[in-house]
Amino acid sequence: MAETIRVGLVGARFAARFHLEGYRRVYGVPVQVVGVTSKGVESREAFAREHGIEAFRTLEEICEAADVIDVCTPTAAHEPIAIEALARGKHVVIEKPLTGYFGPGTDDFQGDAFSKEVMLREALGSTQRIQDAAHQAQRRVCYAENWVYAPAIQKEREIMVKTGGQVLRMLGDESHGGSHSAYGGMWRYTGGGTLISKGCHPLSAALYLKRAEGEARDGKAIRPATVSARVHEITRLKTFRDAGFLGTRYQDVEDYCQLHVTFDDGTVADIFSSNLVLGGVYGWLEVFANNHRTRCRLNPVSMLDTYNPREDLLKDVYVAEKLGSKQGWSHPAPDEAWQQGYPQEFQDFVESIALEREPLSGIDLACDTVAVLYSAYLSAERRGAEVNIMRIADGRLPMAG
């Protein structure tokens, strides 16, 4: 049997919880989450106690105990943590998005008023530094984009590849009622608004499918070429009437975006995201090919319908993410993690490290996603003008053997 792959978590909040659960569902390859570290002493100690793992004081200490460092911190901390872990010879798993631009570190930074051309240049520089560190260390970067692994997206990939289909157009959306966290509304913590936090999901899935199409047919990925985009701050409008149901704590980020992507082969994808949708998470991608059409639904999925006459009856029952009410008809998720692709994601990451192969969602997809996201912000600053995407060259690590 292969040696156990030891994983250390950096970050002790929401993402760390579902990452830990994902590793514990891995089968066929021995893997162990050995511990956690974070800036907050209380949060890491509490997380460690709750999950029966060790709390480490520093990144250096947890690197000594682990083979893989899983970065579950706010995006602004991704690059320095990843580069230090890679320099110490560790593989890394990085939550979405890979990186971005967060300003000079001052409290008065206003992302919506800052040059998007500078943001794009700095974000691409950050992706390049992470990629260079991975190549120098000869270690994997696993990009934690769960949409790639969602069963619906993977089934569409199978249909496309086995039928030789050409994807002509894609249409996707990820939206919900918004974050109630003050940090979620500040560019210096998030690197952007709804485009970054939600639009990255259907965008990455679309980029992944076009990559897979090109690799299956010609042995070369089809990559994004241009983007046109608009962003809006709907809940910050003077005319917005707040009924109390939507998140509104957005200081300098957008709560609505739309982007139009063209690919190397001239085909297109249209991506939407917003914080303006009630009723839980709304996530889907529709694929229009030359020989088939597929609707990939991630949320809601109507595998199960239930009617609840009184809110308190289901107070101890999880129904679905960000669902505003459990009263009336709803669609409880029998296994929301599975339909979102989380167990499959960590299975692939662990196998890719054990077998010395690239993960389905790796550094190349992560770099293209960042390039499109920040090119989209530049387009929006130019009121929707088309922007050529500055791309980082693909640079896969050598395959085993």
Extract the tokens encoding 348. 């692939």
Give the separation between CA 199 and CA 193, rounded to whole angstroms: 9
The count of other CB atoms within 10 Å of the CB of residue 154 is: 17
Secondary structure in 3-state letters for 158-215: HHHHHHCCCEEEEEEEEECCCCCCCHHHCHHHHCCCHHHHHHHHHHHHHHHHHHHHHH
Element (H, E) at 345: helix 342-355
pLDDT given for residue 399 in this prediction: 33
Assess if residue 218 is contained within a domain.
yes
Do 133 and 153 sit in the same domain of this protein? no
Q: Are residues 253 and 382 in the same domain?
A: yes
**Same domain? 184 vs 264:** yes
* Per-residue model confidence as pLDDT tens digits over 350-373: 999 999 999 999 999 999 999 999
State whether 374 and 225 are in the same domain. yes
pLDDT of residue 398: 37
- d(Cα 373, Cα 127) in Å, to the nearest integer? 12
Average pLDDT for 195-201: 96
Rounded mean pLDDT of the chain?
Answer: 94
pLDDT tier for residue 332 given thresholds of 50, 70 and 90: confident
**Does a structural domain hold residue 236?**
yes
How far apart, in whole angstroms, are the C-alpha atoms of residue 215 and residue 217? 6
Q: Per-residue pLDDT tens for 122-138?
A: 999 999 999 999 999 99
SS3 82: helix
Instruction: Indicate which CATH number applies to the domain containing 242.
Output: 3.30.360.10
In a domain, 343, yes or no: no
Give buried/exposed letters for 227-252 (b at 16+ CB in 10 A, else e): bbbebbbbbbeeeeeeeeebbbebbb
Separation between Cα atoms, residue 113 and residue 92, nearest integer Å:
33
List the domain range (segments joined by +) for residue 12.
5-144
Mind listing the pLDDT tens digit for each residue in 166-190? 999 999 999 999 986 778 899 999 9
pLDDT in tens, 206-262: 999 999 999 999 999 999 999 999 999 999 999 999 999 999 999 999 999 999 999
Question: What are the pLDDT digits (tens) for 276-297?
Answer: 999 999 999 999 999 999 999 9
Strands 282-289 and 293-299: antiparallel
Residue 204 belongs to some domain of the structure: yes
Please say if the pLDDT value at position 397 is more than 50: no
Q: What is the pLDDT of residue 395?
A: 55
Q: Are residues 129 and 276 both part of a single domain?
A: no
Task: Tell me, yes or no, whether 353 lies in a domain.
Answer: no
Helix, strand, coil shares, percent, the chain, to 5: 40, 20, 40
Residues 174 and 88 in one domain: no
Q: In which region does residue 113 sit, left (phi positive, over 0), alpha (psi from -120 to 50) or beta (all else)?
A: alpha
Same-domain status, 166 and 315: yes
Do 181 and 319 lie in one domain? The reply is: yes
Same domain, 81 and 215: no
If you average pLDDT over residues 296-317, what whole number do you get? Answer: 90
Residue type, position 399, single letter = M
- Does the global pTM surpass 0.75? yes
My answer on whether 325 and 192 are in the same domain is: yes
Pairing of strands 91-95, 68-71: parallel
340 located within any domain = no
Token reading at 244: 């109390």
> Is residue 214 in some structural domain?
yes
Q: Which of 1-15, 32-46, 132-146, 271-285 has the lowest mean pLDDT?
A: 1-15
The pLDDT score that the predictor gives to residue 391 is 74
Q: Do 153 and 126 fall into the same domain?
A: no
- The number of distinct structural domains making up the chain is 2
- Burial state string for 98-132 with b = 16 or more CB within 10 A and e = fewer than 16: bbbbbbeeeeeeebbebebeebbebbbebbeebbe
pLDDT reported for residue 356: 94
Q: At 38, which CATH number? A: 3.40.50.720
Q: If you average pLDDT over residues 16-25, what whole number do you get?
A: 96
Of the residues 144, 172, 187, which one is the last residue of a structural domain?
144
pLDDT at 180: 66
- 271 with 379, same domain? yes
Residue at 156 is within a domain = yes
Instruction: Give the end of a domain, one of 92, 114, 144.
Output: 144
Which of 110, 144, 178 is the endpoint of a domain? 144
